[in-house]
Structure 1
Amino acid sequence: MPLLRTINIQNNLIEQIPNDTFRDCHQLISLYLHNNRITDISRDTFSNLTQLHTLCFSRLFYHLRRLHNNEISTIKQLAFVNLPSLRNLYLYDNKIQSIESYTFVNMTNLYELRLHNNEISTIKQLAFVNLPSLQYLYLHNNELTTIVEYTFVDLPSLYHLDLSGNNISLIEENALGNLTHLSSLTLASNPFNCDCSIIPFWSWLIERASIGTSAKCGDGKFIISLRSAELDKCNPDNCQCFNGGKCIPSGDGKVVCDCIGQWTGEFCLESQCTTYDCGFGNCFVEPINGTAQCVCDNKQPTYCPGKQFNLCD
């Protein structure tokens, strides 16, 4: 069926799509699979569908990938890697529990991705990679508790992100990356833990002011209304140290961060190289013990003072 353009097999009892089912459908543009009982999607399910995309007619998008209202619980890594022309991907109202790293990768024309109303509790780092055209990402009404670092990176066009209606208590530093075009961030109905662990995300919100304003602490207070003094409290149950640091009790009854490697500062967020003066030399962090050292240019050794571990001495 090399000339087939549209396949509509919605509203059936399909439970599985064997690999290479659409192997010879090289010209396929429209594929409707919603309201079935599909439970698994693998990398080869949609192989060779390089022309699959959306049809724009009178400024109305007809979404050509519809996998919603199935019973999908598992999506393999690189499941959609063979769909370079895809613009709209609907996976909502399923039973997806986790998003693995590199699940959505190199889909350079993807414009909208809907994953809401699932059972997603985990999104691994780099689940969304090289999606330069993605503007709308819906993840509301899932079971997320933590957004780990590097979850949303390499998404230069992302305009709207909906994370409302989850159980999110923490968004880690660097989780939102450089989302320079993000204009709408919906975070309502999430019980954020508003202690020292929220400082990186709180700072991120304060810098942007107009987005993420719906985010609230577990006690109902808006995160953007918090003052830095309110975030100084740490206790063993909710203290958050970054970059491998651990919370340990101090002598005055408080909890402090015990940092490792190159990291220092109150929350282990500062690299030793940021304050380590090497003059005209370069700061180098020893990979085993994390000690900062100076690597000097032989042309100007006099202006590379270093400190205890100066390699030029």
Structure 2
Amino acid sequence: MAPDVSCIFLAVLLSASCEVITSADQMCIEIPDTLPNTTEFLEFGFYFLPTIQDITFSRLINLTFLDLTRCQINWIHENAFQSHPQLSTLVLTGNPLIFVAETALNGPESLKHLFLIQTGISSLEFIPAYNLKNLESLHLGSNYISSVKFPKDFPTGNLKVLDFQNNAIHYLSREDMDSLRPATYLNLNFNGNDIKGIEPGAFKSMAFQSLNFGGTVDLSVIFGGLHNSTIQSLWLGTYEDIESHHLNSAMFTELCEMSVESMNLQLHYFSNLSSTTFRCFTHLQELDLTACHLKELPSGIKGMTSLKKLILSVNKFTQLCQINAASFPSLTHLYIKGNTNKLELGAGCLEKLENLQKLDLSHNGIDASDCCNLQLKTLPQLQSLNLSYNQPLGLQNEAFKVCPRLELLDLAFTRLHVIAEQSPFQNLDLLQVLNLSHCLLDASNEHLLAGLPNLRHLNLQGNHFKDGNIPKINLFQMVGSLEILVLSSCDLSSIDPEAFHSLGNMTYIDLSHNNLTSSSINALNQFKGTYLNLAANSIRIIPPQVLPILSQQKVINLSHNPLDCTCSNIHFLTWYKENVQKLKDFVEIRCATPPSLQGVQLSDVTLSCGITAVGIFFLIIFLFLSAALLIYAVKFFLRWKYQHI
């Protein structure tokens, strides 16, 4: 990790000037003297540095990361980095390289990551192979490379990432791929090249962590060329601006001759989809069919017992049963979100998925008058359920009784009708995260959260409390284990001082975008070391007795409040300058009054609130007149008393 002095290099560079040689342009040949010698991490991008010589960065012998993005570098001379044995990452992205010396990278014994994106390279022979024996990632995207054949002496044995995206590679030969055989479980990216041919046997017996052929028009070319290869993740998706060939059953027969764990086919069309289409999918563990224009999956699919994760988002289903879930009995993760048609949940459509742990049904227009036991029955292992951004759902008592192992429940932006007087979340003893933001709930229902003994994170953003007040008796008494509470945009104007007395584990509370004043801060008295967000409220004056509550918090956000910057608020203004280190977004903590200081940052405000000479004069006159009046009153009283003896 870089020492502290290296953290100031950006600020130093802003004021730095380069040594100049006689030329029409200024060229940096050495880095500024003000840059510390101990710098390890240097981002030098967008400076004008047409050549790199052996003296350019020679003083920075501790460099481990060097970013020279878009420095207009044309020439990299011999031994340019000889003084940097610890350099592990070199970024040359966006430089129009004309010449790189064969020994340019002599020196960095630990160079692991080299970025040559958008450098105009057309041949891999351009890259100096000397001293790259430890190279783990090579990024060559957006160039003019047409062949992936490396020079004979180029060390590829330690490569883990090789990125050729957006080049001009259209054909892969056996000879090309032979140069990559020393690399095992490589992440190889051909995205955006539109491969049109692969020589038979080119990938034979090769094993990849991932292979990306995104944007390829004819996938039959890809399947036909990957015989006898082993691939953990095969990305074959396309993009909306590319017209791809329709996929048919015959095309997928080649999958039987290769080993693939995860496959992505997003945005492709299927012709004559049937159960035989999936005949060679039996070894897949993950399948992504996002936006494949599917209206249903065929029944009778056999052998897909290994599939754990299925993504069917942005398709055209009308009912959940149309996915024929029984064909995938081992699923643990199912994503069907953003469906283009309104999706009906039906009854028991997922009842064969006894191992399902995560279910995402968000953004589908789902509505149900009685949710969700009938629709989600026989999902005893479900841990995460997302029903956010749907149509109104009616929740009865114990609405999720069939999913007792839920740990996360997201219902954000789905209007909820709580039909029963008791909590719809009872029996969810393991639930830790509950998102009820913008559900138009009556948050004054003190029984709403009953039955959640382990709830840690609660989001009630955008819901409403009666009369804008959180009373002493409220729904939070049921969830004493809470650590994170979000109550932003709830139209709150007041909080009872004892409203949060049952919450002893809080680490974060968000009360932003309400109408709270400083009087509500008293309700936070028991919190210590929390992240307290009071941004965008109606706080004007913070009295002295409230300041100790703020002092005991870890981080406080008071931005966008109409703060008073007169002597009436002098105690807070003084406290602010003493505690600015714990104030979040302090640049937006500004004065609203008086008009002369409106919009001024509190850090720029200096008030003199002592008594002036004129004030002292009038005070003396006032005291003198008061004393004279008192003496006169005493004399008048004694005279009156004497006359009435």
Distance (Å, rounded) in 2 between the aligned partners of 1:110 and 1:144? 21
Aligned-partner SS, 2:452: coil
In structure 2, the residue matched to 1:86 is 382
Deviation at 1:20, TM superposition (A): 9.7
Aligned residue among 62, 65, 76 for 2:371: 76
Residues 68 and 94 in structure 1, CA contact (< 8 A), matched pair in contact too:
yes
Deviation at 1:126, TM superposition (A): 2.3
In structure 2, the residue matched to 1:117 is 413
In structure 2, the residue matched to 1:150 is 447
TM-score (normalizing by structure 1)? 0.57
Deviation at 1:191, TM superposition (A): 2.1
In structure 2, the residue matched to 1:296 is none
In structure 1, the residue matched to 2:604 is none
Closer/same/farther in 2, CA of residues 122 and 171 from structure 1, 3 Å limit = farther
Deviation at 1:118, TM superposition (A): 2.2
Aligned residue among 9, 24, 28 for 2:331: 28
Deviations 1:104-137 (A, max 9, x none): 2252322211111223364743211222221111
Deviation at 1:71, TM superposition (A): 0.6
Closer/same/farther in 2, CA of residues 156 and 9 from structure 1, 3 Å limit = same
Aligned-partner SS, 2:485: strand
Q: Please provide the CA RMSD for this pair.
A: 3.4
Deviation at 1:138, TM superposition (A): 0.8
Report the AA paired with residue 96 of structure 1: P
In structure 2, the residue matched to 1:297 is none
Aligned residue among 350, 354, 362 for 1:46: 350
Report the AA paired with residue 371 of structure 2: K
Closer/same/farther in 2, CA of residues 168 and 21 from structure 1, 3 Å limit = farther
Structure number, greater radius of gyration:
2
Distance (Å, rounded) in 2 between the aligned partners of 1:34 and 1:16? 13
Q: Any residues of structure 2 matched to 1:120-269 within 5 Å, and which?
A: 120=416, 122=418, 124=420, 125-169=422-466, 173=473, 175-192=475-492, 194=494, 203-208=498-503, 211=506, 214-215=510-511, 219-221=515-517, 223-225=520-522
Deviation at 1:160, TM superposition (A): 0.4
Aligned-partner SS, 1:18: helix
Residues 457 and 483 in structure 2, CA contact (< 8 A), matched pair in contact too:
yes
In structure 2, the residue matched to 1:260 is none
The question of 1:3 aligning with 2:3 is answered: no
Aligned-partner SS, 2:500: helix
Distance (Å, rounded) in 1 between the aligned partners of 2:380 and 2:475? 26
Residues 464 and 490 in structure 2, CA contact (< 8 A), matched pair in contact too:
yes
Identity of matched residues, %:
23
Deviation at 1:33, TM superposition (A): 0.9
Give 5+ residue unaligned stretches, structure 2.
1-301, 525-645
Give 5+ residue unaligned stretches, structure 1.
54-63, 228-313
Paired residues, what number?
A: 212
Closer/same/farther in 2, CA of residues 193 and 19 from structure 1, 3 Å limit = farther
Deviation at 1:17, TM superposition (A): 2.2
Structure number with the higher helix fraction is: 2
Aligned-partner SS, 1:65: strand
Deviations 1:232-268 (A, max 9, x none): xxxxxxxxxxxxxxxxxxxxxxxxxxxxxxxxxxxxx
Distance (Å, rounded) in 2 between the aligned partners of 1:86 and 1:93? 20
Closer/same/farther in 2, CA of residues 43 and 153 from structure 1, 3 Å limit = farther
Deviation at 1:19, TM superposition (A): 8.8
Distance (Å, rounded) in 1 between the aligned partners of 2:486 and 2:330? 38
Deviation at 1:42, TM superposition (A): 4.4
Distance (Å, rounded) in 1 between the aligned partners of 2:348 and 2:311? 20
Work out which structure has the larger RCO, using CA pairs closer than 8 Å and 6 or more positions apart in sequence: 1
Residues 162 and 187 in structure 1, CA contact (< 8 A), matched pair in contact too:
yes
Deviation at 1:217, TM superposition (A): 11
Distance (Å, rounded) in 1 between the aligned partners of 2:470 and 2:329? 42
Aligned residue among 320, 328, 339 for 1:17: 320
Report the AA paired with residue 475 of structure 2: A
Distance (Å, rounded) in 1 between the aligned partners of 2:423 and 2:322? 25
Residues 161 and 186 in structure 1, CA contact (< 8 A), matched pair in contact too:
yes
Aligned-partner SS, 1:113: strand
Closer/same/farther in 2, CA of residues 121 and 187 from structure 1, 3 Å limit = farther
Report the AA paired with residue 305 of structure 2: L
Residues 151 and 176 in structure 1, CA contact (< 8 A), matched pair in contact too:
no
Distance (Å, rounded) in 2 between the aligned partners of 1:12 and 1:217? 37
TM-score (normalizing by structure 2)? 0.29
Closer/same/farther in 2, CA of residues 102 and 23 from structure 1, 3 Å limit = farther
Closer/same/farther in 2, CA of residues 206 and 176 from structure 1, 3 Å limit = closer
Closer/same/farther in 2, CA of residues 76 and 210 from structure 1, 3 Å limit = closer
Aligned-partner SS, 1:225: helix
Distance (Å, rounded) in 1 between the aligned partners of 2:505 and 2:333? 38
Report the AA paired with residue 8 of structure 1: I
